[in-house]
Amino acid sequence: MKENSYHLHDPTWCRGCGIYGIFAALKKAAASLQIPPERMVIVTGIGCHGRLNNYFNAYGFHGLHGRVLPVAAGVKLANSSLAVLAVSGDGDAYSIGVGHFIHANRRNVNMICIVVDNRVYGLTQGQTSPTSQKGYVSVSSPFGSKETPLDGPRLAIVSGGTFVARGFSGIPEHLTALIIEGMTHNGFSLIEVLSPCVTHNKINTYKWFKEHIVNLDDDTNFSAKNKKKALEVLSDQSKIPIGLLYHEERPSFDDLSLPSDTPIALTKLDVDEKKLDAIMKDFM
Amino acid sequence: MISDIQVMIAGYAGDGVLFTGNVLGKILKRQGWEVVTYRDFPSNIRGEAMNYTIRASLNKIYSRGDYIDVLMAFNCDAILRHIKSVGENGVILCEGSVTESVRLSPKKGRTFHKFPMRELAKKNFRSEIFKNTILLGGLCYILDLDMKIIREVLSEVFLKRKGKEIVEKNIQALRLGCDEAEKIIKEEERHSLEERPDKDRLFLSGDEAIALGALAAGCRFFAAYPICPATEIWQWLLKHIHKFNGLVVQTEDEIAAINMALGAAYSGVRAMTSTSGPGASLMMEGFSLAGMAEIPIVVAHVQRVGPSTGLPTRPEQSDLNQWVFGAHGDFPRIVLSPGTIEECFYFMADAFNLAEKYQCPVILLTEQNYGQNFYTVEKFDLSRVSIDRGMLLSQDELLKIEDYKRYALTENGISPRVVPSMANGIHMVEGNEHDEKGYRDEDEEIRIKMMNKRMTKLNIAAKDVIPPKLWGKEESDIGIIGFGSTICPIREAMDQLEEKGISTKYLQVRTLWPFSAAEVEEFMSSCNTVFVVENNYSGQLSRLIQGQGVECSRVHKINKYSGHTFRPVEIAESMLGVLEQ
Ligand SMILES: Cc1ncc(C[n+]2csc(CCOP(=O)(O)OP(=O)(O)O)c2C)c(N)n1
Ligand code: SF4
Ligand SMILES: [Mg+2]
């Protein structure tokens, strides 16, 4: 499978939008893992990020604002042989869907979640988002945002996440490597991607992100196995660390709760009178 | 000999009322009798008044009766609360001594006895726990129950969980209660029915029937959030679904529950969720998505009293509007309403088949008094359950299609469905308006075609859903219309009226949407007087009928919204009030 086997249509995001970089990295990752398109399901939220599966050659599910993670978990648990990818936004995952985000991390279903963090509500024309910085001026906060921004990876780690990473759509090779690693991780993998919205966010531009990110690969003292370290790096508000922040091996929800190795969706469906009859005896 | 008895056990939450009632129900079922229970409990754990009514009969019965024959009271307060409902020859046994206020209360023909369950338990077993089995012993004497059956049931209840020693102790306690009752109860105060063989019958709640029905119908994925009175459905399923390679997931909320079920259904698994009023409100957006994206999903809704948190453990029928009219946008939906415990079981198979045939959400709407009460029914006939997956294609069929379209425009609006992992079937499932392949499209012409396609499915389904059922005397010109579990007191009220020489008939609406307007209209036109009986304030069913343009000037509404089901006599008297005018 080549990269362009996953390319269905040319996207129509604004020219220069960060999501192009994510789209490219995803195609590369899928090609590198040789995932047949029909074995891949991409579930997206509502927002500019939500268009991604319109352009990607794989099964796609575009549902409700904020509800990506429960849908994706349902898809995966019903057919564990699928590669399931959830694509969400900073509004989708951290605002309206933040309850699911927390529980997806602790539940640890074997799937990958990409949060496209453009620090703004793109699709609805530029309102302030939970990751917009304090004082951020937008149509919904003309006098500057009064709230402290939310840090997705930090929330993921304290919620029991087992694979927490952050990438930048401006460095596609680094992002591709993270996605590949996340896809091979057994459990819930979060990859937050810093992704400039060139139309609405004039603060967090490519240049701004480049000036603020630090690549953890360059820090020889850092280990993603150390939760305390991860939280420590994330607490430095002046820098935005990218790379694998935290990684833990823990049996996935699938390992712990699926009744067999045969995916539920592939089990023959019939009325098993013998088994049901035995169960009915409980009521006699 | 009498043919019908009704026992009430009343006390405070924490007295073991529920446990004792459950065991007694099972015992009476094993005696070969028809049994109906009515559990009346508040939504707390300890300290508040609660009671458990068990009615047994040699004849087919549907609801709790009007009067109590035996009241087993854990305290005087319980007597004061329920004395009005004790029948003329009723016996009242009370844990404590009878207070002055009780002594003075009207008690024509009723007799009181002190039955010191706690005291006996403490004296003989040094533990209050045995008071409930002592109580059962007392009933064993009064109702002349078969000791062998009680032993059998007690060992089933205790052996696995508590061991042999506890079983033996309970049997001793049972004897003790029985002997104590023999000392104080006069022969004419005993109420006994003739024992009959108990063959091929089940004793279960509506929630359990729904769960068993779901399992039989091939439900293999269940996602839900705890809520009274629907939780028992998935808690029961948890014990069995793994044997069928299925899974139950407890989600973080109802929004996640319906969305997770949608994900699983999209993956090709028969998936459902269950809930009650407040949870259903949270599910509305997902319900709308199921309609738009044409995902077959089933929701079992066990109604409780609303609005808001309302009365969480009590019955009402006020969520009809929510499923028939709720959620944004116009989309096809099917709402079924089982009227018997048997229908709770069999309708689950219909629900899944309809969901897959018409690729739309299907709701099974019932009420707390079915969900959490127990009834005797004939063993379910599994040969009546079949699985119809509609237009779900196999891989071979899909490979033969040149250009697969998930939302292909067809004459009946139903498009062939495939699930992820199938080669040659890649498509989008879309909550936005979309083209035939599922890709977002805002073109005006496509929008109209897609709306028509989805709504056409509903027109076709209307001819395929479960029709209303007629009960009673067809030639009568007095008609009753209702849905769901109100059939129980309605049928008993009909019997009471029949005894007075008034024949009636009842139309049980079994599909609330698409509404059986033609059948209802025909029924109404054959009546001079029509009563619409509902457990709600506004008359949601009668408004639904009116909304169909049916002539409604002869309709009399009978509504109850006290948090309790109708007593048969309440319906009969309301009807008489109108008929005698
Ligand atoms: C329940 C609900 N509320 C509001 C909306 C409107 N809405 C659509 S997208 C969006 C915000 C998207 O922001 P984000 O998740 O950051 O996505 P982006 O467009 O930035 O990729 C909102 C509020 C909706 N679709 N559904
Ligand atoms: S509005 Fe922003 S996020 Fe949306 S496509 Fe344009 S640049 Fe990208
Ligand atoms: Mg955003």
Which run of H or E residues covers position A168?
strand A163-168
Nearest CA in chain B to A80: B267
Task: Suggest the residue from B220, B242, B252 to mutate for an interface test with chain A (most A CBs closer than 10 A).
Answer: B252
User: How many Å lie between the centroid of ligand 1 and the Cα of residue B406?
Assistant: 26
pLDDT for B104 equals 63
In this structure, which amino acid lies at residue B148? K
Tell me the C-alpha distance between A144 and B55, whole Å. 68
What value does the mean pLDDT take over residues B456-482?
97
For chain B, the domains span 4-198, 203-384, 391-465, 469-579
Q: Which long-range contacts does B569-577 make (Cβ < 8 Å, 24+ apart)?
A: B569/B66, B569/B493, B569/B496, B570/B489, B570/B493, B571/B489, B571/B490, B571/B493, B571/B533, B572/B493, B572/B496, B572/B497, B574/B531, B575/B478, B575/B480, B575/B493, B575/B497, B575/B504, B575/B531, B576/B497, B576/B500, B576/B502
Q: Which residues of A touch B425 (CB under 8 A)?
A: 38, 59
Band of the pLDDT at B1, cuts 50, 70, 90?
A: low
Q: What is the pLDDT of residues B124-133, one digit of tens each?
A: 999 999 999 9
Q: How many residues does chain B have?
A: 581
Residues pairing with B311 in the sheet:
B305
Q: Which whole number is the average pLDDT over B305-322?
A: 97
Count helices and strands (H / E) in chain B: 20, 21
Residues facing B86 on adjacent strands: B68
**Terminal Cα distance for chain A, rounded:** 57
A19 lines ligand 2 (CB under 6 A): yes
Inter-CA distances, A142 with A135, A145, A169, A205, B505, Å: 9, 8, 28, 20, 67
Query: What's the pLDDT at B95?
Result: 84
Q: pLDDT band at residue B108, thresholds of 50, 70 and 90?
A: low
CB pair distance less than 8 Å for B426 and A59: yes
On average, the pLDDT of chain A sits at 97
Contacts of A275 in chain B (CB under 8 A): 243-244
pLDDT in tens, A74-94: 999 999 999 999 999 999 999
Whether the per-residue pLDDT at B453 is higher than 70: the answer is yes
pLDDT band at B554 (very low <50, low <70, confident <90, very high): confident
Higher pLDDT, B214 or B163: B214
B220·A267 Cβ contact <8 A: yes
Residues of B in contact with A277 (CB under 8 A): 382
Residue B160 — very low, low, confident or very high, per pLDDT cuts 50/70/90?
A: confident
- Centroid of ligand 2 to alpha carbon of B101 (angstroms): 77
pLDDT exceeds 80 at position B44: no
Q: Is the CB of residue A31 below 6 angstroms from any atom belonging to ligand 2?
A: no
- Looking at chain A, the number of H-run helices and the number of E-run strands are 11, 8
Q: Is A60 on the interface with B (CB under 8 A)?
A: yes
Largest CA distance in chain A: 73
Q: What is the CATH number of domain B203-384?
A: 3.40.50.970
User: Three-class SS of residue A126?
Assistant: coil
pLDDT tens for each residue of A143-156: 999 999 999 999 99
Residue B341 has a pLDDT of 97
Looking at domain A19-281, its CATH class is alpha beta
Which among B471, B474, B478 is positioned nearest to B580, based on CA atoms?
A: B478
Q: How many CB pairs under 8 A join A and B?
A: 196
CA distance B284 to B77: 43
Mean pLDDT in residue range B309-319: 96
**CA of A24 relative to ligand 1 center, distance in Å:** 23
Q: What is the pLDDT of residue B552?
A: 87
CA–CA separation, A171 and A160 (whole Å): 28
> What is residue A11's three-state secondary structure?
coil
pLDDT at B511 over 90: yes
- Domain B4-198 CATH (choose: 3.20.20.80, 3.40.920.10, 1.10.10.10, 3.40.50.300): 3.40.920.10
pLDDT given for residue B105 in this prediction: 66
Length reported for chain A: 284
Strands, DSSP E only, in B469-576? 469-472, 478-483, 505-509, 511-513, 529-534, 555-559
Of the partner residues B208, B267, B383, the one whose CB lies closest to the CB of residue A265: B267
Tell whether the model's pLDDT for residue B97 goes beyond 80.
Answer: no
Q: How do beta strands A188-194 and A163-168 pair?
A: parallel
pLDDT surpassing 80 at residue A242: yes
Q: Is the pTM of this model over 0.80?
A: yes
**Ligand 3 ion: residues within 5 Å (CB):** A 89-90, 118
Please list every protein residue whose CB sits less than 6 Å from any atom of ligand 1: A 45-49, 65, 89-92, 116, 118, 120-124, 129
Mean pLDDT, residues B107-114 taken together: 79
Instruction: State yes or no: pLDDT of B165 exceeds 70.
Output: yes
User: In terms of Cα–Cα distance, which of A83, A94, A3, A99 is closest to A49?
Assistant: A94
Atom 6 of ligand 2, residue of closest alpha carbon: A14
Mean pLDDT of B424-453: 97
Percentage of chain B surpassing pLDDT 70?
98
Q: B207 near B372, Cβ under 8 Å?
A: yes
Nearest in space to B548 (alpha carbons), one of B515, B511, B570: B515
- Helices B147-162, B131-142: axis angle to 10 degrees equals 160
- Give yes or no for residue A76 CB within 6 A of ligand 2: no
Judge contact between B343 and B510, C-beta under 8 A: yes
What pLDDT is recorded for position B102?
A: 67
What band does B168 get if pLDDT is binned at 50, 70 and 90? Answer: very high
Topology alike, domains B203-384 and B469-579:
yes
In this prediction, what percent of chain B has a pLDDT beyond 90?
86
Q: Which residue has its alpha carbon closest to ligand 1 atom 11?
A: A121
* Chain B environment of A273 (Cβ under 8 Å): 382-383
Q: What is the pLDDT of residue B107?
A: 61
Task: Read off the pLDDT of residues B215-231 as tens digits, 9 standing for 90 and up.
Answer: 999 999 999 999 999 99
Ligand 3 centre distance from Cα of residue A19 (Å): 10
Ligand 3 centroid vs A25 CA: distance in angstroms?
19
Q: Where are the alpha helices (DSSP H) in A172-280?
A: 172-184, 206-212, 227-235, 253-257, 273-280
Question: Of residues B389 and B163, which shows the higher confidence score?
Answer: B389
Kindly identify which residue of chain B lies nearest to residue A271, measuring between CA atoms: B216
* Mutation target among B152, B210, B260, B388 for the A interface, most CBs of A within 10 A: B260
- Kindly tell me if the per-residue pLDDT of B445 is higher than 70: yes
Distance A47 CA to ligand 2 centre (A): 9
Strand pairing category for A213-215 and A240-247 = parallel
In chain A, domain spans: 19-281
Reply yes or no on whether the pLDDT at B249 is more than 70.
yes
Rounded CA separation A117/B438 (Å)? 27
Query: Residue B76 — very low, low, confident or very high, per pLDDT cuts 50/70/90?
Result: confident
Specify the residue with its C-alpha closest to ligand 1, atom 23. A124
How far is the first Cα of chain B from the last one, in angstroms, to the nearest whole number? 38
Which tens digits make up the pLDDT trace of B138-157? 999 999 999 999 999 999 98
Q: Which two tokens stand for residue B337?
A: 């309403």
- Please tell me whether residue B66 adopts helix, strand or coil conformation: coil
Predicted-assembly ipTM surpassing the 0.85 threshold: yes
**CATH number of the structural domain B469-579:** 3.40.50.920
Spatial distance between the Cα atoms of A40 and B554, rounded to a whole number of angstroms: 60
d(CA A62, nearest CA chain B) in Å: 5
Mean pLDDT of B327-352: 98
pLDDT of residue B257: 98
Closest chain B CA to residue A276: B216
- How sure is the predictor about B551, in pLDDT bands with cuts at 50, 70 and 90? confident
Chain B interface includes A284 (CB < 8 A) = yes
